[in-house]
A and B are shown apart, each in its own frame.
Chain A
């Protein structure tokens, strides 16, 4: 995807609910207002677990 956009805009374009993922860049967590640049890779890690916990 093209960069130069805020995380929240990337999530909206992918139709991902922000509540359901963590956005990780390198070893850091990234908030929704931060901008992702063209040369960067971010991980969208699902946080949902299910079935019969624990």
Chain B
């Protein structure tokens, strides 16, 4: 197999693009896709300080790597979820990457903020672990960005993540989730920062290849709580469809964003308030994060 651009031996075939690339040309392709995502959705400007949420995995560290190479002003944020050895190892990967690149890294602990780590939150709430974890992460990412005066949080969500989320929302016709699904969510309140996903044009196989070719030492093992998660089942189904018909994931997500999303965007604006407890943004009186912290406090 030959590189589409230079004719040298290829290292990666991208069937959905009907192309194969050598290592240097794949890295160029990857960076161009990130540039295009940032440009098309005006994710952030050159002079804006970007908070990059990093988990120690291939996607978020790969994203941080590209943004550093592109010359953006970034700070990493690692959220310590307190998930046993997985969190210890993933934190070490983030710290090693930050040290190697000479980039600043902030660390926030879910256990400190909520009152207990993710495994205890799961036991207390009796809900899927990804539920309390996702809520805590979204809350803390926004709060840390605000505290440090950063207008935007970038996450490592890739094409597979987004297509799987879309499939889950469509299967249950979660119209509010469908309206919110976007590579770039604008700030709709002074205390809400922008949330952007510069890797949404790239598959997770491509982000893994980028990390390997860039020799990024990332955590390969999956979060122990992700086993059996519905999002994984959706990804497997989509990968089988992709195998039978390359381009399926891309067409599903991009077709939705271009043709269907506008229909789900609600005409009426949601009323946003400031949480009576913590001051962060909520649609109610007390935010979901403070309610979660209360629940944990009562049970522990």
Whether A associates with B in a native complex is yes
**A-to-B contact residues, CB < 8 Å:** 17-22, 24, 28-34, 45-54
B133 partner, pick from A32, A34, A52, beta carbons under 8 A: A52
- What CA separation (Å) do A18 and B244 show in the bound complex? 11
Which residues on the A side are within 8 Å of B222 (C-beta)?
Answer: 46, 48-51
Which partner residue on chain B sits nearest A21 by CB separation?
B205
- What CA separation (Å) do A53 and B159 show in the bound complex? 12
* Interface core residue of A22, A47, A52 (most chain B CB under 10 Å): A52
**Is B280 in contact with chain A by the CB < 8 A criterion?**
no
Which partner residue on chain B sits nearest A20 by CB separation?
B239
Would A53 and B208 be within 8 Å (CB), given that A20-B239, A48-B160, A48-B232 are in contact? no
Would A52 and B157 be within 8 Å (CB), given that A17-B240, A31-B20, A47-B208 are in contact? no
Total A-B contacts with CB atoms under 8 angstroms apart:
99
B59 partner, pick from A22, A24, A53, beta carbons under 8 A: A53
On whether the beta carbons of A24 and B212 are closer than 8 Å, the reply is: yes
A50 partner, pick from B1, B13, B231, B240, beta carbons under 8 A: B231
Which residues on the B side are within 8 Å of A31 (C-beta)?
Answer: 1, 10-13, 20
Which partner residue on chain B sits nearest A24 by CB separation?
B212
Which residues on the A side are within 8 Å of B242 (C-beta)?
Answer: 19
B 3-37 binary contact with A (CB < 8 Å = 1; else 0): 00000001111000000100100000000000000
